[in-house]
Amino acid sequence: MTSRVQPHLTRRTLLTGALALGTGAALPLGAAGRARAAHGPEIAACVTWGARPPSESVVVLAQPPQRIIVHHTATANVTDYSKERAYTLARAIQNYHMDTHGWIDTGQHFTVSRGAFVMEGRHNSLDELQSGLRQVRAAHCVGQNTLSIGIENEGTYTTVEPPAAQYAALVELCAHVCRQYGLPPSEIYGHRDFNDTGCPGDRLYAMLPKLRHDVAAKTGETLTDPLWQFIGNLERDGGPGQSDYFPGGIPGLGALR
C-alpha cells in the first residue's frame, strides 16, 4: 500500500506540515458535501447538517489520539429518530457550546443520534479522521482534549440503555476510529473515567466492556485490558471540559428528561 507514496513525502514531512497548520493557519472547513467516509460509516459533515463557522480556526494537532471517550448528551430520550432531528440536535449542541460556553465550535468530535445518524462535531474532525495521522483539539473532557476522540451519544443513559440502532452506530463509528488511528479497542472509555461526572450514565457506562468487545470483533483485534489505570498522572491541558451537561436541556430541544 506504500508503493504510491513519493519517496520524499515521509511521515515526518506530513507531521511537520500538520504542525504548521496547528499554529494558526486557517483551515478549510470540513469535507464539503461529503457524506460517506471512505471505508467507514456514513458521517454527516458539518456542512451537511448546517454548522456555523467556528469563531476561530480549529487547532489540528500533529499527533493521533490515544483513546476514545464516550459521552451521553444528557438530553431527553426522544423517539423522533429522523435525520432532521439529528441535524437539529447537532446545531443545538454547537449553539450551546459556542453561545453559552463561549467555545470556538462544537466540543466533541462526533455525535450519534438516537436515530443512529452519525455526525461530525468540531470542524475538521472528519478530514483528520480520514487522515489517520492527526486529531483536532476538542473540548469534551478535561485533560483529554488533546489525547482522545470524543463521541457524544444523544440521550440520558442513567437508567435505560441506548436504542439498539444507536448502539450499533456507535460500534461502527468506534471501529472506524480504531482502524483509522490504529487504536486498540481496549482504549475506549467513559467520560467518568477521567472527570468527576456521571457521564455517560450508569447504563451506557456498564456497556463499555461490551462495546470494546464488539469493536474488537469488527476490527479483528484481540481484546486486551484497558491501559488507563497504568497511565498515572495524566497530562492536564487546562482546556474546557464537560461538553455534555445540559442541566436545563438544550434550548429548543426541551428540558432534561
Interacting residue ranges for Zn ion, rule: CB under 5 A = 71, 191, 199, 244
Question: Minimal distance in Å, beta carbon 159 to Zn ion?
Answer: 17
Nearer to Zn ion, 93 or 133 (CB): 93
- Looking at the Cβ atoms of 187 and 244, the one nearer to Zn ion is 244
CA pair distance 143, 131, nearest whole angstrom: 24
Kindly tell me which of 87 and 246 has the beta carbon lying closer to Zn ion. Answer: 246
Nearer CB in complex with Zn ion: 81/245: 245
Q: How far is the CB of 154 from Zn ion (least distance, A)?
A: 12
Q: Shortest distance, CB of residue 20 to Zn ion, whole angstroms?
A: 32
* Cβ atoms of 148 and 63 closer than 8 Å: no
Nearer to Zn ion, 206 or 217 (CB): 206
Q: How big is the chain, counted in residues? A: 257
- 3-class SS of residue 148: strand
Least distance in angstroms from the C-beta of 108 to Zn ion:
8
Q: Which is nearer to Zn ion, 128 or 152 (CB)?
A: 152
Beta bridge partners of residue 44, listed in sequence order: 119
Q: Which residue has the cell 478530514?
A: 127
CB distance 111 to 121 below 8 Å: yes
User: Which residue in 171, 251, 176 sits closest to 209, CA to CA?
Assistant: 171
Q: Could you tell me the smallest distance in angstroms from the CB atom of residue 105 to Zn ion?
A: 17
Terminal-to-terminal C-alpha distance of the chain: 49
Q: Provide the minimum distance between the beta carbon of 8 and Zn ion in the complex, in angstroms, as a whole number.
A: 42
Report the distance separating Cα 222 and Cα 233, nearest Å: 27
Residue closest to 57 by CA, chosen among 102, 25, 94: 25
The answer to whether 249 touches 76, Cβ cutoff 8 Å, is yes
